[in-house]
Amino acid sequence: MQEREIDVTVGVGEDGDRLDAIVARHTELSRARVQKLIEAGLVRVEGATATRKSEPLAPGTRVTVRVPSPEPVDLVAEDLPLDVVYEDDALLVVNKAAGMVVHPAPGHRRGTLVNALLHHVRDLAGVGGRLRPGIVHRLDRDTSGLLVVAKNDAAHLGLTEALKRRHVRRLYRAAAWGHLSSSPLTIDASVGRDPRDRKRMRVAEGGRRAVSRARVRERWLAADLLDVALQTGRTHQIRVHLAHVGHPVVGDHVYGPGWERGMGGAAHRWAAELARRTRRQFLHAAELTFDHPVTGERMLFRAALPEDLAGVAAWARSTSGIEGT
């Protein structure tokens, strides 16, 4: 995308509103992005360079915003396997494979979803002034399934705001040890960092409010196959919540290691075999629903369990005396 200028005229109902808020309201730019443009001297008010993001403006005031071309990022585009289930000019929906990290970080500069997207997306307009895809929400490395990615600021802002307003519906399929005491079950428990291990999360007072809603889809011999809907999206939320209520995700070696060893009799043998067959956490983002940030169309995507988890589920079903669903 080439450098461009955007002209904004302050409306009657905006008398006294802040400069950054007005520009963000009239453009596809986020407020944080507008503030950076003001700091860079790229916003003019009635021809004069703006210096204060909080400057109040009167109706009829003319504002000009110069938006530079997106800067290249210091990341390598990689030709990696990528299951794109939908794509248009504004966004794409990806069915992420287990084992793939979403965003580059120390120790994971290559082989991530972002590296793959930089190679795949040919009409990337950039987000936040950087030539990169806009990751709206994330999945853990060993969680498979659907996530939406923005190609430009307008789509990223729209999807991010929809996520904040809880207008994006995310439904996960999870296998959890034992049997829920009730179904559906709402888990409303704040989640925060574990002070003893910053890579782990835990239910804690003073954390951020987190709400998950779990429903039993299939009842196996010593585990449940669940549908879990997120009302909020905290780091490791489903895994932490299910472990908190005594039903950790099968195959979760962080929040539920060795849980199956506490069972006795036939359930113990069955659980030991389920654990052996489950090579990673049994957690999959199965459904994703949102309004398209440009057209307003309601979008619904579904992704079946990948082969590894589908095989585990088939075995658990057959040995629990229930038919497949």
Spatial separation of the C-alpha atoms in residues 113 and 305, rounded to whole Å: 19
pLDDT confidence of residue 187: 97
Phi, psi (rounded to 5 degrees) for 227: -100, 125
Amino acid 227: pLDDT:
98
pTM of the predicted model as reported, rounded to 2 decimal places: 0.79
Q: The dihedral of CA 15, 21, 23, 24: what is its sign?
A: negative
Q: What is the mean pLDDT of each run of 10 residues along the chain (325 residues)?
A: 79 88 85 84 87 90 82 74 94 96 74 87 64 80 95 86 92 97 95 88 92 97 97 94 96 91 84 95 98 96 98 96 67
Q: Give the relative orientation of helices 19-26 and 31-39 as an angle to the nearest 10 degrees.
A: 120
Among residues 270, 278, 229, the alpha carbon closest in space to that of 250 is found at 278
* SS3 at position 6: strand
Give me the phi and psi of 323, to 5 degrees please: -85, 155
The pLDDT value recorded for residue 254 is 94
Reading the block at residue 44, the tokens are: 């003019």
Assigned token pair, 182: 């009730």
**What is the C-alpha to C-alpha distance for residues 272 and 252, in angstroms, rounded to an integer?**
14
Do residues 13 and 51 lie in contact, with contact meaning Cβ atoms separated by under 8 Å? no
**Nearest to residue 174, comparing CAs of 140, 203, 137, 217?**
217
Tokens of 74: 């210091």
Q: What is the reported pLDDT for 38?
A: 87
Phi, psi of 306 (to 5 degrees): -65, 170
Active site residue 227: no
pLDDT of residue 240: 97
Residues facing residue 44 across a β-bridge: 49, 64
What pLDDT does 2 receive? 61
Using left for φ > 0, alpha for ψ between -120 and 50, and beta otherwise, residue 321 falls in left
Q: Which of 17, 20, 140, 197 is catalytic?
A: 140
**pLDDT score for 231:** 92
Upper half-sphere CA count for residue 177 (Cβ side, 13 Å): 32
